[in-house]
Structure formats: C-alpha cells, structure tokens
Amino acid sequence: MKNLKYNIIRIFFGILISISFASCDEGGNPEAGGTTTQDFAGDWFINVKVQGVNKFIRFSTYNTSANDNTMFIDDNGLSQTKPTSQLLKAKYSINMNNGDFGSDVNTANLRQPNKTVTITNGKIEKMGGISRGGHTVDKISFTVEYSNEPGVKYDYVGTKRTGFKEDEY
C-alpha cells in the first residue's frame, strides 16, 4: 500500500513538472507591435508662459483608441498647481510625415467641462530641442486658445522627457 501511494505521488509530480515546463513556452518571439503615433507619443516638459510667469509642466501625448493620426495632449491635471494656468486635455490630428498638428476649432477640453480649445501651429521636431541637462531631444511647440478666454493665445514650448535625473523639473 505504501508503494502504491508513493508511485501515485511520483506520477502526480511528474505530470505537474511536465505541465510547468510546457506552460513556460511562449510560442516563439511574439511581436508586441506599436501604435501609429508612437514616434510622437511620450512625456514632455513644456514651458507654460502665463501673465509673465514661466512654469515647466509635464504633459503627455498619446494615441487615441482609433489608432489613426489622432492623439491627445494632456497636462495630467498638473496645470492646476498654478492658479493662472488653464487645464488642458484635448484631441488633435497630426501629420505623420512632418509632425505638424492642430485641432478642430472648438475641440472639447476634457479637463474643463463645457469648455473648448483650439490648438494651432503645433509642431513636433525630431531632435530639435535641448533638455535641461543638455541632451538633444525632440521638441514640441503649439498655441492654444481657450473658449473661456477668447482672443488670448497661450504659447507652449517644450522638450521630450528623457527620464534622466538632470533633465527633470
């Protein structure tokens, strides 16, 4: 009886080990792929100039679920740390060949309910900027007009975040 129990346990562990090794097979090297706008997506440190005050804020650009030539620009709610700044999260279209972008007139500002924005003169320049630590990185610039301040245009200019400590603000 003891031998039978020992054999059953050995068979059980043998099957368990076989299944464990088989479950680790990833089936080759799967390609994770990417998005159509991945070359223009990322985090940016953007200088927001408002009423004579400069403040660097971390913005993000990322694709929409449509995975076409539309993206979001998002201040991640960080602009609210400066009371005179406007919050911004809006969708825009980008030219995949040259990095020019802009939004439709009166695009919904998803950070300010019932408010709209118009983004113009947008440009992402590959290796066109210098980070705080002196690294050559991508540059972003654009102008925004908010519906609650008609005629006032905010200019945004910044560089891509590197992740290096010396480049952080």
DSSP 86: P
Exposure string of 80-118, with b = 16+ CB inside 10 Å and e = fewer, is eeeeebbbbbbbbbbeeeebebbbeeebbbebbeebbbb
Among 74, 45, 38, smallest CA distance to 163 is for 45
Please give the model's pTM, rounded to 2 decimal places: 0.78
Going by CATH, does the domain composed of 38-162 fall within 2.40.128.220? yes
pLDDT value at position 15? 80
Q: How confident is the model at residue 23 (pLDDT cuts 50, 70, 90)?
A: low
> Above 80 in pLDDT, residue 46?
yes
> Above 70 in pLDDT, residue 84?
no
- Token readout for 15 is 């099957």
Q: What are the residue boundaries of the structural domains of the chain, listed by start?
A: 38-162
